[in-house]
Structure 1
Amino acid sequence: MRLIRIVPDNTKFRFVRFRRVTIPFSAAISVITVILALTIGLNFGIDFKGGTLVEIQARSGKADVGAIRQEAESFGFGTPEVQEFGNSGGVSIRFPIQEGGEEAQGTVVQKTRDVFEKDYEFRRVETVGPRVSGELVQSGTLGVVLAIIAVLAYLWFRFELTFAIGAIIGTMHDILLTVGFFVITQIEFNMTSIAAILTIVGYSLNETVVVFDRTRELLRRYKTMPIEELLDLSVNSTLSRTSMTATTTILSLVALVVVGGEAIQGFAQVMLFGVFVCTYSAMYVSTPVLIYLGMRSARAPAPAAPAPASDRKKAPRPAS
């Protein structure tokens, strides 16, 4: 039985020649992402902002979002965020954090139940205090930073500093674009989002290491091959594996987006975007950036020095 080939064997695509377009494009998108994150900002969830989240479901028909918002505002607990989700009458209500600790947050939940429990079914109730939310912000940020440092140390140990820097550039590119996806779509950024970012870091590292490992092997085999051709050969020789990995992952994530439910849909959407970004960066960012880091000059064998004149053998004189 013949194996399925998404990409034919012995492809000869010239990926590296697009570096003069892809590198500036990726740099520009990264800068725009930073600007958007500083101006628009992320849609932080209750994990990071603190407060009370209540998700309710209409017992019959569709939910009246306007009436729910008006009732929630009359509670006197600040301005709530009321949003409809799904297609079957689901509504989420977010109340800002209240002064008075857990007892005050419990009052918000009880008041909400007293008003809406007759017509709505309570699906989810979460309460996070300011101290816990601050600790979660610190833990999430520390986790991402430590993961990046661990990637740098691992690649430096396994390959060399040039490869490590190239991989870190690609990984940072993937993280920034993922943050940009959060900013543009305004998907709620919570602890599940931190898990998605760390998963994308691992996927990006996996894709990059596969290409870099083949690059290192080809550097030893073809010492005189031009660096552009060698990097193209590295990407082409791993293209079949990359396409199979990306395709199977995308199919799984599409299934989660379609039928996974509201709780996991945001995570699946972010991961789906991350797979495309990681595959792109492994081919068009991490690999061609090695040229600008001077990899060939570091690897090229030094030319042999000419022997001193005193050590050269004298040519025999012709017999007279």
Structure 2
Amino acid sequence: HGGLKYGIDFAGGTLVQLKFKNPPVIEDVRDGLKTIGLGDSEIQEFGSKSHILIRVERSEAKLEEVGTRIKNSLSGKYSAEEIVIERVEMVGPKVGKDLREKAILSIIYAIIGIVIYISWRFEFQYAIAAIIALIHDVMVTMGVFSVVDKEFTLVIVAAFLAIIGYSLNDTIVIFDRIRENMRRRGKKGQVEVINTSINQTLSRTILTSGTTLLVVVALFLLGGEIIHDFSFALMVGVFVGTYSSIFIASVFLVYWANRSSTKRA
């Protein structure tokens, strides 16, 4: 794979969604597109075999014209009554670049806000631990999207922000218990307190994540093609966010505690 597969939102271009009375033959559609110079377009089924998406890399001048041109190019194989133009979208390359930059900035701003909030509510090392876990969650989910060749769109950016919020909530629950136990730890070491806190919140973490996953899986299976990628991102993110709260954020606090103890020694 050559990295993320950007959707129309970010890459720019034209998207045409067609509905056929009967499932079309993809090669027939491609042959028709070749007659109007769009033979290199990407064609894929969307939802059912009777729906197809045609992605044209360049932005066409008029939306109405490109839809009509594509429909007319298929007239040799299909009658006009057999084809319905359901959707035509266009994003220029400059707009796509601007959207890509704003999507990155939205995630960066969210992370900065999280650092400030957790540093104020807890301590700085807690903020760093949370951010490391969140970066891990986003990178792993992004990697899964790249491996399975799913499109990266604005909807997926929204899913990533939701993943950040969910994972952070899980992490803060554990951090809050750690802070509470630190106040009354007595002669216990920091590592022991952190381990105890994780065990105390483990059942809550598993139950919350399990019920959330059930809802997200239901969306993935029953929600339809429109929210398929969104729910897929959430499904991966909830799973990854659950284990990162326990095995990454908390482990970083253990590392920090051991490092501090070594310095004092």
Give TM-score, length-normalised by structure 2. 0.90
Which moved further from structure 2: 104-113 or 121-130? 104-113
Q: Higher strand share goes to which structure?
A: 2
Q: Who is 2:29 aligned against?
A: 68
Maintained 8 Å contact 2:118/2:127: yes
Q: Structure 2: which 5+ residue stretches go unaligned?
A: 75-79
Q: Which amino acid aligns with 2:7?
A: G
CA shift for structure 1 position 78: 6.3
**Cα deviation digits, residues 204-258 of structure 1 (max 9, x gap):** 1111100001001111111421333212211111122212211111111111111
Q: How many residues align?
A: 258
Q: Who is 2:89 aligned against?
A: 126
Q: Structure 1: which 5+ residue stretches go unaligned?
A: 1-38, 303-320
Residue of 33, 36, 45 corresponding to 1:84: 45
Q: C-alpha distance in 2, partners of 1:216/1:234?
A: 9
Q: What root-mean-square deviation, in Å, do the aligned CA atoms of Structure 1 and Structure 2 show?
A: 2.0
Aligned 1:195-214 pairs, distance under 5 A? 195-214=158-177
> Which structure is richer in relative contact order (CA contacts within 8 A, separation 6 or more)?
1
Q: Higher helix share goes to which structure?
A: 2
Maintained 8 Å contact 1:193/1:267: yes
| Partner-residue secondary structure (3-state), 2:58 | coil
Q: Who is 1:182 aligned against?
A: 145
| Partner-residue secondary structure (3-state), 2:43 | strand
Q: C-alpha distance in 1, partners of 2:146/2:218?
A: 24
Maintained 8 Å contact 2:63/2:88: no
Q: C-alpha distance in 2, partners of 1:135/1:172?
A: 23
Give TM-score, length-normalised by structure 1. 0.76
Seen in structure 2, the aligned counterparts of structure 1 residues 106 and 51 have a Cα distance that, compared at 3 Å, is farther
Which moved further from structure 2: 288-297 or 229-238? 288-297
| Partner-residue secondary structure (3-state), 2:151 | coil
Q: Who is 1:46 aligned against?
A: 8
Q: Who is 1:56 aligned against?
A: 18
Q: Who is 1:114 aligned against?
A: 72
Residue of 183, 187, 193 corresponding to 1:220: 183
**Cα deviation digits, residues 124-153 of structure 1 (max 9, x gap):** 221111222122111111101111111111
Which moved further from structure 2: 49-58 or 161-170? 49-58
Higher Rg? 1
The yes-or-no answer on 1:93 pairing with 2:54 is yes
Q: C-alpha distance in 2, partners of 1:255/1:144?
A: 27
Aligned 1:155-170 pairs, distance under 5 A? 155-170=118-133
Maintained 8 Å contact 2:41/2:54: yes
CA shift for structure 1 position 296: 8.2
| Partner-residue secondary structure (3-state), 2:17 | strand
Maintained 8 Å contact 1:250/1:275: yes
Maintained 8 Å contact 1:65/1:82: yes
**Cα deviation digits, residues 277-304 of structure 1 (max 9, x gap):** 0001011111011122237847xxx9xx
Q: Which amino acid aligns with 2:127?
A: A
Q: Which amino acid aligns with 1:288?
A: V
Q: Which amino acid aligns with 1:70?
A: D
Maintained 8 Å contact 1:77/1:108: no
Aligned-residue sequence identity (percent) comes to: 39
Q: Which amino acid aligns with 1:66?
A: E
Q: Who is 1:285 aligned against?
A: 248
CA shift for structure 1 position 66: 1.1
Q: Who is 1:273 aligned against?
A: 236
| Partner-residue secondary structure (3-state), 1:103 | coil
